[in-house]
Structure 1
Amino acid sequence: DELLGLAVDRWYRAVEGSGLAEPWTPPAGPPTLAKKEAHDDFSPHAPLPSPPIPGRTFLLQPLPLFELPYRSVEGEPVAVPEDLGGPVLIDLWASWCANCRSELKELQTARGELAGAGIDVLALAVDEPKDQPAAQAFLDEIGWTFPRGVAEPELLDLLTLAYQTVVDLPRGMALPMSFLVDRRHRLLAIYRGPVSSTQVQADVSSAASSAPAALPFAGRWAAKPEGRDLQHFANLLRSRGYGARAVAYLELQGTAEQAAPWRRKDLVRSWVEASQSLLAEGRVAEAQAASEKGLAIDPQSPELHQMLGRSLLEQGRIEPALTHLETALRDLPEDPALRVNFGLALARGGRSDEAATQFEAALERVVKGEEAELKALYNLAVYRESKGQRAEARALLDRCLAGWPRDFEALHFLGVLEQRAGHFPEAIAAYRRALEVQPEDARTVYYLGRAYLSAGKTREAELQYRRLLELGHPSAERL
């Protein structure tokens, strides 16, 4: 709806579809709820919570955290251990931040009280490398006796994602920013801004009965809330390239028996996306394991059968790959990428004619410009050349390179086609273009050297020979 004539700092009542916003006056004050004796944290008679402290987020359901990497002052890689001796306050600060300096002074002054409560503090400076000496000098100046280090970009990224998951908003972090972690490496509280040692001790003490402290508003639980939804955090991690970490959180989310029926569909989708991320990272065995865990939740999922088939294909396990890809194809016959992968499995299994049929079917279904089109064109070109149909193969490669002029495999194969046809200048040009994309590919360097020799350019061939020696490749001797 479009509502006109609204004024700032006024209240309105809008009914969807009416196009009108009627002035409205809120009640004079919040309704009062009688406090009765508490029976447990989630009882309808539990006492009302105190108002939340600004900048402080106390977690009703602690968020598990895995290894958090940082660097020591000497530059050595370190990680916050997953099994801590007690609660740890991870404090992100900078030497130029006045509030940070005041906070650290107060924490150091309260060293005795914090130690008595079993609480440690890890001060991680976020200063630029050139400013790190000043940061460490400040800690020395105040007599800092807690652990210290330098925040790594990965740690900052992971903690930012954890913060966004907790507050359910795409907010950035501020300085100082602190994360209270218990001995089991679970996030208990986040402090956006300075936090006092007294508050940290209070939060550690109340962690065992955290329900009232975590409520962001006055009220009582009508029923015990579900456990923390780790799937959202897993999806955030996957979207930022942390595929293995995403899998760890999906595993914590539970099995098919533990997952609520309404959540299983989304959970399966998360396993599919985690498998895709792991494959993109080259972690093929982990991608296979992720697909299998997803299939334990939904054994009929065609997307998971496709991902498992791709993982097996990457490992050279052709027969089981064919089984899973064919299963997926029964439910997803119009998926061009699936047909390309099925064709690749058929080709590697020696069934090249059937593979070509799948590549052609993929081209009939693909949207122009998709990666599946590139793969189908390239693999169909390889098939045509194997059948002696070089003109058709060259036409397919031309189509491929028209859309992807820097595709390495297509450029290399174009060089092979031209070399076999005796077109050595054209072969040389194709190989050189391929090496612009992947300069370290010894196979292409070798073929380029042979093309130079065939063209009578011994000096240029010798340069390729020396390049192969630099790469330490055995084909240097053949050249």
Structure 2
Amino acid sequence: MSHSPLNLDQGSVDPRYRAGWSRITNLIETGGSWSGRERNCCYLNLGGDRPFADVSFASGFDFPDDARAVASVDWDHDGDLDLWVTNRTAPHLRFLNNNGSTGQRGVLVRLQGQSCNRDAIGARLELIAADEPSQPLVRFVTAGSGFLSQSSKWVHFGVGARKGPFRLIIGWPGGPSETIEGLLPGNRYRVVEGSNRAIEQDERDIEISPGELPVVPPTGIARVPLLERLPLPQIGYLDESDRVRTLTFTGRPTLVNLWATWCLPCVKELQEFKERADELRSAGLDVVSLSVDGLKDDKPGDLSLIRGFVEKHGLPFGVRRATSEAVDRLDVIHDVVLTTRTQLDDKFKLPVPTSFLLDGSGHLAVIYKGPVSVDRLLADVALMTDSLDVDPAVAFPGRWFLRPHGLGNVVVRVADRLVRRGHLAAATSYAELAADLAKRNGNPFDLTHKTASALVDLGNAWDNQRRFSEAATAYRMAHQVDPTDAAAVTNLGNVTLSLGDEQSAARHYRHAIDLDPNQLQARMNLGSICLQEQRIFEAVQHLKAAVRINPGFPQAHNLLGRALLKQGRTSGARLHFQRAIELDPDYQDARDSLRDMDGPGVEGGGS
């Protein structure tokens, strides 16, 4: 395991340390496990100064689960503590019944506060054997008992084979102590603050049937319902005539299924779809199956091969082949829904088969990774089309009091990922949706800034393609969403300048500087415009600010030198030309300016 550097001034950081953080970040963003397949551990306190004993295997606790929280409770009222364990992986919940302490008993106490908090959080309990010398047992009532867990507030004292009776001393939080005599092992007591007595509680009659403790192997098959349905980007495919078509919606649910001729689970899945096609049709579900053959080579599969396969198996879903662009867009949706990863990743990570269940409006409701059964499809379609307010992502029926507001953040991430994958037109619609959601009440405050940032990135991508009008539209939207975003206004000035409108560009730069006086690009470009329009005093002001913002920027020194030279301040101009050359010895423009100054007829001036 790599270690953090002890001193950041020691030079370059160990690449293993950087790689370790990269892997950790990837685990966080993909919802991955940090456990490294480490089994659960259990240690036994041997008492005194002796070390703890590792009894993980002997206790049966050493599951290879990615466990997260454990809570203790005497669930079966037999006097010892049982455990509930939650996992990030399946099974999500395990109950471990403690049957290994035959003949060992306990005293359990539940406190009820009167003048203090009702659960008596913070109380100190001390149990002492009344008739025999022994070390007192001390417990505290706490509001938490571990990571993401809260054990029972029944305070448990394990007294072994001792017969008692016991004396209980309670230090109530913020109040006096209270002593109660005569507690017996094997019993449960409730104590109300100030009552000076322990009321014995009846045991509940509970029967727990032992179950198996299976270890569930990963399958790679998953059903991922969306809590908020997400619009799908435009999906293109090639039809039987080799023409490009676009997926359209008729108001009926649609299943977009990605398959390949070499994929045996795909073939089995399609066969079931074929055999039960009448049921799917009666449920109102349209199936659009898209072959992804050949896409690893960035070209659709051979039409005759796909047609022959479909005819051989008698598949009634037509001959359609996915385009690289369509699969890449679906891959973006898959990544955003299943991870929070921000790094660029490889394309075509979707497994096959993968299916996307869309509602009648073309909004994504469920993603199926791996084969999906017809029964599962019919159940999900029924949930989507039911008149009751039931959703495939919700485990029980009912009506929303307040619907979730997480769609905005998802849409922003889709727009960002589509920009980085080069799907700028598709990204634009998501950016516009995010801009609309950012204005609505109930959405997270940071959605405004995230949306503006995504729109700026979209504008930058259009700008790189010299699509200046589209870039300007994105920057204007970013400014409308977040009027305080000076970078959006600066970039709007840049593309306006590229379109040849210097006056409007200058207006945008001044606005950006009002928002943030340290906008270097706005200062530089506005100074250059002023210099060309012979507004030398204003040019000097902006260019001096540029040098102050970034003293190591040779272009700023060169432009400032030219402005000072026009004012006749030759010594100051010389200093800035020389500084530009020091910063960039190959900066020819600054060298030419300095050589021109050293020519005949040049007199000295102020700085």
TM-score of the two chains, using structure 1 as the length reference: 0.63
Cα 1:195/1:350, change in 2 over 3 Å: farther
Aligned to 1:161: 332
Of 343, 356, 368, the residue aligned with 1:191 is 368
Aligned to 1:248: 429
- Would the aligned equivalents of 2:230 and 2:407 in 1 still touch at CA under 8 Å? yes
Cα distance in 2 for residues equivalent to 1:258 and 1:232? 18
Of 374, 388, 393, the residue aligned with 1:214 is 393
Which AA in structure 1 matches 2:222? G
Aligned to 1:175: 352
Which AA in structure 2 matches 1:188? A
Matched, 1:9 2:46: no
- Would the aligned equivalents of 1:244 and 1:278 in 2 still touch at CA under 8 Å? no
Deviations 1:325-370 (A, max 9, x none): 11212343333333233345446656578557756754554486xx
Cα distance in 1 for residues equivalent to 2:256 and 2:476? 36
Deviations 1:58-93 (A, max 9, x none): 222110113112233444322213x43522211111
Which AA in structure 1 matches 2:404? P
Of 247, 252, 257, the residue aligned with 1:86 is 252
Of 221, 233, 237, the residue aligned with 1:66 is 233
Aligned to 1:149: 320
Aligned to 1:228: 407
Structure 1 unmatched ranges of 5 or more: 14-20, 32-52, 404-409, 418-479
Which AA in structure 1 matches 2:392? A
Aligned to 1:57: 224
Cα distance in 1 for residues equivalent to 2:585 and 2:262? 52
- Would the aligned equivalents of 2:383 and 2:391 in 1 still touch at CA under 8 Å? no
Cα distance in 2 for residues equivalent to 1:243 and 1:365? 33
Cα 1:88/1:23, change in 2 over 3 Å: closer
Aligned to 1:113: 279
Q: What is the CA distance between 1:298 and its match in structure 2?
A: 3.2
Cα distance in 1 for residues equivalent to 2:335 and 2:389? 20
Q: What is the CA distance between 1:27 and its match in structure 2?
A: 1.4
Cα distance in 1 for residues equivalent to 2:550 and 2:396? 52
Which AA in structure 1 matches 2:405? E
Aligned to 1:134: 305
Matches of residues 406-417 of structure 1 in structure 2 within 5 Å?
A: none
Matches of residues 278-289 of structure 1 in structure 2 within 5 Å?
A: 278-289=462-473
Of 15, 27, 39, the residue aligned with 2:84 is 27
Cα 1:376/1:136, change in 2 over 3 Å: farther
- Would the aligned equivalents of 1:71 and 1:151 in 2 still touch at CA under 8 Å? yes
Of 299, 316, 322, the residue aligned with 2:483 is 299
Which AA in structure 2 matches 1:112? D
- Would the aligned equivalents of 2:526 and 2:542 in 1 still touch at CA under 8 Å? yes
Q: What is the CA distance between 1:95 and its match in structure 2?
A: 1.1
Richer in strand (by share): 2
Q: What is the CA distance between 1:186 and its match in structure 2?
A: 0.8
Matches of residues 265-414 of structure 1 in structure 2 within 5 Å?
A: 265-346=449-530, 358=542, 362=546, 365-366=549-550, 373=553, 402=586
Aligned to 1:437: none
Which AA in structure 2 matches 1:247? T
Cα distance in 2 for residues equivalent to 1:239 and 1:295? 21
Q: What is the CA distance between 1:24 and its match in structure 2?
A: 7.1
Which AA in structure 1 matches 2:418? L
Cα distance in 1 for residues equivalent to 2:323 and 2:300? 15
Cα 1:344/1:314, change in 2 over 3 Å: farther
Matched, 1:239 2:420: yes
- Would the aligned equivalents of 2:384 and 2:391 in 1 still touch at CA under 8 Å? no
- Would the aligned equivalents of 1:60 and 1:211 in 2 still touch at CA under 8 Å? no
Q: Secondary structure at the match of 1:146?
A: coil
Cα distance in 2 for residues equivalent to 1:157 and 1:357? 49
Richer in helix (by share): 1
Deviations 1:3-29 (A, max 9, x none): xxx99221689xxxxxxx999764176
Which AA in structure 2 matches 1:312? T
Cα distance in 2 for residues equivalent to 1:12 and 1:162? 41
Of 414, 435, 440, the residue aligned with 1:258 is 440
Which AA in structure 2 matches 1:59? L
Aligned to 2:136: none
Of 246, 253, 261, the residue aligned with 1:95 is 261
CA RMSD, 1 decimal: 4.5
Q: Secondary structure at the match of 1:200?
A: helix
Matched, 1:205 2:382: yes
Which fold has the larger relative contact order, with Cα–Cα distance below 8 Å and residues 6 or more apart in sequence? 1
Cα distance in 2 for residues equivalent to 1:375 and 1:75? 53
Q: Secondary structure at the match of 1:190?
A: strand
Which AA in structure 2 matches 1:137? G
Cα distance in 2 for residues equivalent to 1:278 and 1:320? 20
Cα distance in 2 for residues equivalent to 1:162 and 1:374? 43
Cα distance in 1 for residues equivalent to 2:555 and 2:323? 38
Q: What is the CA distance between 1:97 and its match in structure 2?
A: 0.7
Cα distance in 2 for residues equivalent to 1:185 and 1:240? 22
Which AA in structure 1 matches 2:429? A
Aligned to 1:467: none
Matches of residues 417-436 of structure 1 in structure 2 within 5 Å?
A: none
Q: What is the CA distance between 1:257 and its match in structure 2?
A: 4.0
Deviations 1:94-117 (A, max 9, x none): 111111111112212222222222
Identity rate, percent:
25
The count of corresponding residues between Structure 1 and Structure 2 is 373
Q: What is the CA distance between 1:381 and its match in structure 2?
A: 10
Which AA in structure 1 matches 2:417? L
Structure 2 unmatched ranges of 5 or more: 4-35, 44-67, 73-82, 86-92, 96-219, 594-607
Q: What is the CA distance between 1:398 and its match in structure 2?
A: 11
Q: Which has the larger radius of gyration?
A: 2
Q: What is the CA distance between 1:196 and its match in structure 2?
A: 2.2
TM-score of the two chains, using structure 2 as the length reference: 0.51
Q: Secondary structure at the match of 2:392?
A: helix
Cα 1:303/1:118, change in 2 over 3 Å: same
Cα distance in 2 for residues equivalent to 1:71 and 1:353? 62
Deviations 1:281-323 (A, max 9, x none): 3332222222322333333332232132223222222222211
Deviations 1:168-224 (A, max 9, x none): 355932111111122312111111001123322221221146755314899998954
Q: What is the CA distance between 1:374 and its match in structure 2?
A: 8.0
Aligned to 1:441: none
- Would the aligned equivalents of 2:71 and 2:84 in 1 still touch at CA under 8 Å? no
